[in-house]
Chains A and B, each alone.
Chain A
């Protein structure tokens, strides 16, 4: 079955440190992939999307993600985390709009 998996339930990083959140997918063809962010008590906001073409995609709030077919991954990265980045992050695959279980990010001062 098509799916996306986020292996990390919770990640803690220090403010100013780099961040990488993992997402693995299992789709046969080239998937359409998304990263969303959810702040407490809020709905989900799209960070970035990958449809085709350049495998490194830029998003809002300084985030980027790299599509790696050989590793079936679409990991989200940010070079320097800010305290306001603390939230829950979801990877999703189109075709059936299926979401991963999410990764909660805590930022230490």
Chain B
């Protein structure tokens, strides 16, 4: 299995609070992705990174920001959590563009 660790695995937070999810990889892959998974929507790309300090938006980026200061870490921040951001968040990595992605175990976030 690809070395991907997401933390925390579960989190409950209150509306309006900031939340940061962490994705750590030990594969030295160039690309890292954050997805959210919701029933009926499959996985939707939030943001992705193609190198240190190089990030871009996905299809559902509003309300989220990311940072990548090291190859191995990709952080997803909800600046002010809302109930609509209750979801399961997955991190994925891939060695290059247009190659298969390897997924972490997911983080279940509940915003109350």
Indicate whether A and B interact.
yes
Q: How many A-B residue pairs have CB under 8 A?
A: 51
| Interface of chain A: mostly helix, strand, loop or mixed | loop
Decide if A42 touches B45 in the complex (CB within 8 Å).
no
Q: Mark A21-54, 1 if CB is under 8 A from B, else 0.
A: 0000000000010101000001111100101000
A92, B99: Cα distance in complex, Å = 11
B52 close to chain A: CB less than 8 A: no
**Given the complex, which residues of A lie within 8 Å of B58, measured CB to CB?**
96
Distance from B100 Cβ to chain A, minimum over Cβ atoms (Å): 5
**Which residue on B lies nearest to A90, using beta carbons?**
B42
Decide if B106 touches A43 in the complex (CB within 8 Å).
yes
Distance from A57 Cβ to chain B, minimum over Cβ atoms (Å): 12
**Which residue on B lies nearest to A34, using beta carbons?**
B100
Distance from A95 Cβ to chain B, minimum over Cβ atoms (Å): 6
Decide if B102 touches A46 in the complex (CB within 8 Å).
yes
Contact among A6, A9, A95, A97 for B101, CB-based, below 8 A: A97
B74 close to chain A: CB less than 8 A: no
Q: Mark B78-101, 1 if CB is under 8 A from A, else 0.
A: 000000000000101010011111
**Given the complex, which residues of B lie within 8 Å of A9, measured CB to CB?**
40
**The 10 residue pairs across chains A and B that have the minimum distance between CB atoms:** A43-B103, A101-B42, A94-B98, A99-B43, A44-B103, A99-B42, A102-B42, A43-B105, A32-B98, A46-B100
